[in-house]
Structure formats: C-alpha cells, structure tokens
Amino acid sequence: MRIGINWIFAGLLLAAAIAPGAARAEVSEVRISKGYGILYLPLIVMEDRKLLEKKAAEAGLGDVKVTWYLFDGGNVINDAMLAGTLDIAGTGAPGFLTLWSKAKGNARAEVIGVSGMSTTALVLNTTNPEVKSLKDFSPKDRIAMPGIKTSLAAVVLQMAAAKEFGPENYAKLDPLTVGIPHPEAYAALTSGKTEIDAHFASPPYANLELQNARVHTVVNSVQLFGNITLDVVFAPKRFADANPKTIAAFLAAFDEACAFIANDRKGAAEIFVRSLKTKMSVDEALPMVQDRDTQFSSTPNGVTTFANFLASIGAMKQKPAAWTDLFVPQLHGRNGS
C-alpha cells in the first residue's frame, strides 16, 4: 500500500512540475497586418467573417481578440514585429525570405512562415507609348511599387531584368523605381500629373489602370515565372513557438477563408469591395476573384524559386535546404515547394 501511495505522490509531484508550462495560456490577442489588393483576399475574408475568433474558440482558446492593421511595405511590417506590436503579417514572399535569412539565429528577430497565401498576375503597366519591353525603359521613366529593392514587385522586376538583360544585370532597372503604396501609385499613373509613368501592380489596381486607354502592360509575372506563391504569411518565430494552438487556429481559419473564396466567388468579391478604399463595384471585382491566374492556398508553391534567385544575387546569405525549413511544422505534411 505504501508503495502505491509513493507512486501516486511521485506522480503528483511530476504533474505539478510539468503543469505550469503545459497549462500556460496562449495569447488572448492576436495582431495581424494585411496589405492592399486581391493577393490579401484570404486575410480580408478572415477579418470580415471573424474566422480566427471562431477557430480559436473551437480550439478551446477562449475569447481571442483579433486586431487588424493595414501595412504596405516590408520595412514597416518588420519594424512593427521587432517592436513587439505585431504578431502575424501577410507580405511578399521575397521580403519574407530576405528577413528569414538575415534574422536566422537571432532569437529576438528570427521569423518563420505560417502559411502560403496567394498568387496572381503581377503586371508592369505604363503610360509611355514608346515602352514595349523592359529594354525600352529610359532614365526618364519612373516605376512605382510598394517598396524598392526588396518588395515583391521589386524582386519580380529584378528577376524579369535578369531574364531580359542577363543575370549580372538584374538590378539594371532599380534606379527607375520609386516606393509608393499601390493606391497612390494607381492615382499617380492614371492622373498623368506626376513623374510616375509605370506601376508594377496587382489586382485591382492593375485592372483599374488598364481601363485607361493610355495604359498598357509590359510584363506579366505569370507569363514569365508561372503561378508561384507571391505572398505569404509569417510571424516572429518566438511567437509561433510559444503559441502552437493559436497558429493551428490561424491555419484552420485561413483554410476556411480559401474554401469560402473557392465556393462563393460573388460573396468573396463583395467582401473585397467593402475592404477597398478605391471605388469598385462587385461586378468589376468578380472577374478578379474568378481569374484562373489568381489562386489562394495556405500551402506554399514555388517559394524556393524566389529563394534560389535571392541567393544567387547575395540577398539571402542563408539558403533553405527545403521549403519546410521556412515554415511552421504544422505545414510540413503538405505538398509544398
């Protein structure tokens, strides 16, 4: 009998030792940033339908508060994460990869991918009638994009330049780029009242620009590189490690958002229109949601294409051995790349 009591007592001591870590509550608030355009539609749907709140409650995490921000440009997002004011963010795959490599091994700054997000036709539009290809741009032209050198549009432009002018000339057009958020770039290009005569844009801004008779497309990312994941979701690694149930709830909510978009295109278009600062009707937005080149998935596809390019130009000092090195364990069983 005494032996049995001793074993029970030992078990209680072990449980007491483990309990504080095992039972420690995860965060009660999650702060998420999204950006402009159709690429962020899953996050926009998540916010509108309160899907993370729903999945968190289903996972036993209680009443989790979700606060949304609208950030455009990787530097702003990175600064917010380092300051501890942002937990999860959608951003361009190249910006995430550059930060992952730079911060790897630094416990305070290290980041990890939470999910893939989207792909679409990223296009370079211009009002300059003399520009038919990248070779036609001159020092007088100015190409607007959310951020220079490291943003999604900036890296896609570099990859396109490498194809056009040779790998060693990947940065040939960088001096022409100007960092401006998509809405302002759209307004500048279509007004014709500024130095901006080109814009590397995603829907809806690309589509709206092409309604202007003076605008035509020079480069289409899908035609050059295929339907690779352009935008991803990431988080500070310390946040993801400390809150695995929250990350799982986020993924469940994200997957539900993607399923909603696939099954109710009109409903998704309505949500998208409500989120826009630019005036657009549901009828105008619906073709963007239905576009075969516009796809949404938490499973990353072709992210290593960006990694290989960034490593080749020295922008990634640490190259991942596999796509799974970049993302949370909850995704590793999926057919990513």
Residues 255-273 have pLDDT tens digits of 999 999 999 999 999 999 9
pLDDT band at 244 (very low <50, low <70, confident <90, very high): very high
Of 205, 225, 245, at which residue does a domain stop? 225
Instruction: Give the SS3 label for residue 264.
Output: coil
Instruction: Of 233, 236, 317, give the one whose Cα is nearest residue 41.
Output: 233
231-236 and 29-34 beta bridge pairing: unpaired
Q: Which residue has the tokens 């309505």?
A: 270
Amino acid 277: pLDDT: 67
CA dist., res. 173 & res. 238, Å (int): 37
Please state which of the ranges 199-213, 252-266, 321-335 shows the lowest mean pLDDT.
199-213
Q: Do both 111 and 235 map to the same domain? A: yes
How many Å apart are CA 59 and CA 248, to the nearest integer? 9
Mean pLDDT of 239-249: 98
Q: Both 272 and 189 in a single domain?
A: no
pLDDT classification of 19: cutoffs 50, 70, 90: very low
* pLDDT range class, residue 5, cuts 50, 70, 90: very low
**Partners of 309 in the β-ladder:** none
Measured between alpha carbons, how far is residue 62 from residues 58, 65, 185, 253, 330 in Å? 8, 9, 42, 15, 21
Cβ contact 127:210 at 8 Å: no
Contact 95, 72 (CB under 8 A): no
Q: Is the pLDDT of residue 55 over 50?
A: yes
- If asked whether residues 109 and 35 sit together in one domain, one would say yes
pLDDT of residue 248: 98
pLDDT, position 62:
96
280 within domain boundaries: yes
What's the 3-state SS for 269-285? HHHHHHHCCCCCCHHHH
Confidence of residue 14 (pLDDT cuts 50, 70, 90): very low
Do 107 and 234 share a structural domain? yes
With a pLDDT cut of 70, the percent of the chain lying above it is 91
Q: Indicate if 61 and 151 belong to the same structural domain.
A: no
What are the angstrom distances between the C-alpha of 223 and each of 121, 160, 218, 284? 8, 11, 11, 23
- Whether residues 112 and 165 share a domain: the answer is no
Instruction: Please state whether beta strands 231-236 and 123-126 pair in parallel, antiparallel, or not at all (unpaired).
Output: unpaired
| Residue where the block lists tokens 């190259």 | 319
Tell me, yes or no, whether 167 and 184 share the same domain: yes
The contacts of residue 214 (CB under 8 Å, 6+ apart) are 127, 129, 192
What's at 154, amino acid-wise?
A
Any domain includes 238: yes
Domain presence at residue 295: yes
Question: Which of 162, 191, 225 corresponds to the end of one domain?
Answer: 225
- Across the chain, mean pLDDT equals 91
DSSP 327: B
* Whether pLDDT at 44 is above 60: yes
User: In terms of domains, do 85 and 215 share one?
Assistant: no
Here the CATH number for the domain that contains residue 152 is 3.40.190.10
Domain annotation covers residue 1: no
In this structure, is residue 160 part of a structural domain? yes
Distances (CA, A) of 333 to 11, 75, 136, 330: 35, 31, 45, 7
Q: What is the pLDDT of residue 1?
A: 44
The answer on 275 and 235 residing in a single domain is yes
pLDDT level of residue 136 (50, 70, 90 thresholds): very high
Domain assignment of residue 316, given as a range: 27-120+230-331
pLDDT digits (tens, 9 = 90+) for 151-199: 899 999 999 999 999 999 999 999 999 999 899 999 999 999 999 999 9
Q: Is residue 287 part of a domain?
A: yes
Domain end among 225, 250, 266: 225
Evaluate whether residue 8 is within a structural domain.
no
Same domain, 73 and 197: no
Residue 11 lies in a domain: no
Check whether residue 85 and residue 139 sit in a common domain: no
Region of residue 252 (phi > 0: left; psi between -120 and 50: alpha; otherwise: beta) = alpha
**What pTM was computed for the model?**
0.84
Q: How far apart are CA 134 and CA 321, in angstroms?
A: 33
Domain count for the chain: 2
Q: Are residues 112 and 234 in the same domain?
A: yes
> Mean pLDDT, to the nearest integer, of 190-211?
93
pLDDT of residue 74: 65
